[in-house]
Every structure is written in C-alpha cells, then in structure tokens.
Amino acid sequence: MPLSEFEVINRFFASHGLKRPEVTLGIGDDAALITPPSGQQLVVSTDTLIAGVHFPHETSAGDIGYKSLAVSLSDLAAMGAEPLAVTLALTLPEADESWLAEFTEQFFLLADSFNVQLIGGDTTRGALSITVQALGLLPCDQGLTRAGAQVGDLVYVTGELGDAGLALLVLQGELRLPVKDKAQVLKRLNRPTARIGAGIALRNIASAAIDISDGLVADLSHILKASDVGATLQAGKLPVSDVYRRTFDVAGDWSVALSAGDDFELCFTVPEKRQGEIERIMSGLEVRCSWIGMIEQRQGLRVLDDIGREIHTGSGYDHFR
Ligand code: ADP
Ligand code: MG
C-alpha cells in the first residue's frame, strides 16, 4: 500500500527531534509559532527547486534534499542572518519510501549542522518540486543588503567560482573531465556550501552583499544597481579551483567563472580601510576570500584581462529568457 499524505508527514518530517527554543509551536497545527528574541529581526527567504531546471533529473534524492536546504540557507548567509527554522513544501510524483528516506537524511544532516528546525510545510502530488522557506535571526538593523556599496569599496568573493558551471557542462555532454575532477565539480553543483559563518562575520563590516546563484556578473550587477555605483573586476584575481585551471588552461577562459550560476558563494563589498580586518576574519573562519575588484562611480560592470583589455561578459541565468 502506498503511504498516505499523513504517513509521509509523520514518518519523514514530523518525527525529527531538533527543537529550537524560539519555536513555540512546530509541525502539526495549521501554522507554526515563532517568538524571536527581543532585539532581533526575523529574516525570511523562499526558494523553489524544480526538477530539470534547478537540478538535473538524474540527481539523487540525497543531493536534492541537501541542495534544496543549502540554497535557502545561502540567502540567509547573504543577509548576515543566523538560520533558525525552515518550512518545506514538497511536491512528489509518488510517495516513494526510499526516495523520501534519502531526501530527508541529507536534508536533516544539513539542517542539524546549522541547528535549524523544520517547523512545517506542505506535501502534495505532482511534478517534483521543492520549496524551502528559511527563517533566520539578525540583531536589529545589522542586515546586509544589496544597497550600500560605496565608490572606493573593494569587491570580494568567498570560495571558488565556476565549478558548478563546469559540472553543468559535463552533464550536458559539452565537457569531459577525468573521473576525480568530475566528482569534485558535481559535488559543488549538488551540495553547495551555505556561507553562514562568513555572512555573520560580515555584519557591520560589509557595505553590501549577495549570494551568487545566477553567476557573478549577474549577481554583482544587482549590488551595483541597488547601490547606484559601478565596478571593475580583474579576471586574473577570480578564485578558481585547480580543476578549473586545468580545464581552461589557456589565456584564460573566464566565462564560466564569471557567468555560470549555482556556486552559492558570497560576493560582498568592504570599505578599503577594513581590508586587513576582513581578510583576518575570513582566514580565521578558514573561508577563502578573494579581492577581485573595485567599486567605482562609473555605472556598469567591467571585467579586465591581465593586460587591461575588457572581457565581454555574458549575463546570468534568467528563467524567462
Ligand atoms: P493544512 O491542511 O492545515 O495546511 P497539512 O495537513 O497540510 O495542514 O499539514 C499538517 C501539518 O504538517 C502542518 O503543521 C504542516 O506544516 C506539516 N507539514 C506538511 N507537510 C510537511 C512537510 N513536507 N514538511 C514539514 N512539515 C509538513
Ligand atoms: Mg489548516
């Protein structure tokens, strides 16, 4: 007998033990109740992942569970928030027990690692799609936004860019990689790192921040628009993995690192006088952080190669184009 909706909820979602003191009422009623500590703001973000759009159809249930939570936590990181709780709206073609077991194992593995409680959701039948709403906490008025970058600020990114884009090229049959390299880039696509610690450390230091979901060029451009400034980046400063270097070991094809999405690193701007401080903090967190360019008065985004020529950059992913 296939599982009923309520068996699915009770067996796979409602029975998980993690409890946060701020959650006054969790799964089981018509809605959850949250009591934020005084002096803290609630930060809310929602992301939907659709099979064939946000992850390839052949992605494992465990990777889907992990990624669906990671991308939502990444938005909290970009705001400088501490994750608190999530809701999960799950649409499934069928109530497949082994799929659900794998999905929830990896979902809760990541949730537990950030002390995040699942407080509710919805379970429906249809084409596979996962919506996670993430709730976070932030001391009042310390949130990082896309607005606030000032002329003269330095532009930084965490981690490495482009590996998730390489993974997509591999899956589309446009790139062949050695087995180990392929595994590395697929891991970056399927199990992105939410930069929560880095985001929290950026409160009161970064002038603006965003997470890179649609590609560096597209996402940094959102900061530039919101802050009413421009920027110039040095392609040679872009942090890329050894796999990336080996793959594009010519006079540098930076296009994947610049324009492919799905890396979920943070891009942020910092006043120049705080450069030493930010680099010390990130190194203390063991998060690679690279200075890639400057905020300028002149509108728009320019990317220069090693001899100062402007590189043409594509734009990022757009669901309706
Ligand atoms: P309602 O019909 O009032 O919207 P549901 O019957 O859909 O409530 O859900 C019952 C309870 O189970 C609710 O508390 C809801 O938040 C929770 N729930 C449903 N699906 C999920 C899920 N996938 N993950 C976590 N909680 C869920
Ligand atoms: Mg109800």
Q: Is 29 in the pocket of ligand 1 (CB under 6 A)?
A: yes
Q: Where are the beta strands (DSSP E) in the chain?
A: 23-25, 33-34, 40-50, 82-92, 117-125, 129-139, 154-158, 208-211, 230-234, 266-270, 289-296, 300-304
Residue 303: pLDDT band with limits 50, 70, 90: very high
Residue 317 has pLDDT above 70, yes or no: no
pLDDT band at 113 (very low <50, low <70, confident <90, very high): very high
Structure tokens at 199: 């985001």
pLDDT at 267 over 90: yes
Between the CA of 43 and the centroid of ligand 2 the distance, in Å, is 24
CA-based nearest residue to 154, from 269, 307, 310:
269
Helix, strand or coil, per DSSP, at residue 234: strand
Q: Is the pLDDT of residue 316 over 70?
A: no
pLDDT surpassing 90 at residue 249: no
Q: In what order do the strands lie in the sheet with 129-139?
A: 40-50, 129-139, 82-92, 117-125
Give me the residues near ligand 2 (ion), CB cutoff below 5 Å. 30
pLDDT given for residue 144 in this prediction? 96
User: Ligand 1 in contact with 45 (CB < 6 A)?
Assistant: no
Instruction: Round to whole Å and give the CA distance between 118 and 16.
Output: 8
- From the CB of 8, is ligand 1 less than 6 Å away? no
For residues 216-221, average pLDDT? 96
Say how many Å lie between the CA of residue 4 and the centre of ligand 1: 13
Number of the ligand 1 atom closest to the C-alpha atom of 30: 3
Average pLDDT estimate for 92-111:
97
User: Which segment of 58-67, 192-201, 302-311 scores lowest on mean pLDDT?
Assistant: 302-311
Which pLDDT belongs to residue 1? 75
Q: Which atom of ligand 1 is nearest to the CA of 120?
A: 16
Distance CA 118, CA 132 (A): 10
**Closest Cα to atom 22, ligand 1: which residue?**
121
Pocket flag, ligand 1, residue 132 (CB < 6 Å): no
Q: What is the pLDDT of residue 314?
A: 65
Residue type, position 281, single letter: I
pLDDT for 2:
82
Residue nearest to atom 7 of ligand 1 (CA): 122
Q: pLDDT for 225-241, tens place per residue?
A: 999 999 999 999 999 99
Distance CA(217)–CA(261), nearest Å, equals 10
- The answer to whether the CB of 30 is under 6 A from ligand 1 is yes
What per-residue confidence (pLDDT) applies to 152? 98
> For residue 138, how far is its CA from the centre of ligand 2 (angstroms)?
29
Mean pLDDT for the chain overall: 94
Percent of the chain whose predicted confidence (pLDDT) is above 70:
96
Region 45-57 average pLDDT: 94
Q: Is 27 in the pocket of ligand 1 (CB under 6 A)?
A: yes
Cβ of 31 less than 6 Å from ligand 1: no
Rounded to whole angstroms, the Cα distance separating 231 from 163 reads: 24
Residue 321: pLDDT band with limits 50, 70, 90 = low
55 lines ligand 1 (CB under 6 A): no
Is pLDDT at 31 greater than 70 in this prediction? Answer: yes
**pLDDT of residue 136 exceeding 80:** yes
Report whether residue 90 contacts ligand 1, using a CB cutoff of 6 Å. Answer: yes
Q: Is 257 in the pocket of ligand 1 (CB under 6 A)?
A: no
According to the model, what pLDDT value does residue 250 have?
Answer: 42
Between 249 and 126, the more confident residue is 126
Ligand closest to Cα of 88 equals 1
At 179-216, the pLDDT tens digits run: 999 999 999 999 999 999 999 999 999 999 999 999 99
What separation in Å is there between the alpha carbon of 26 and the centre of ligand 1?
Answer: 10
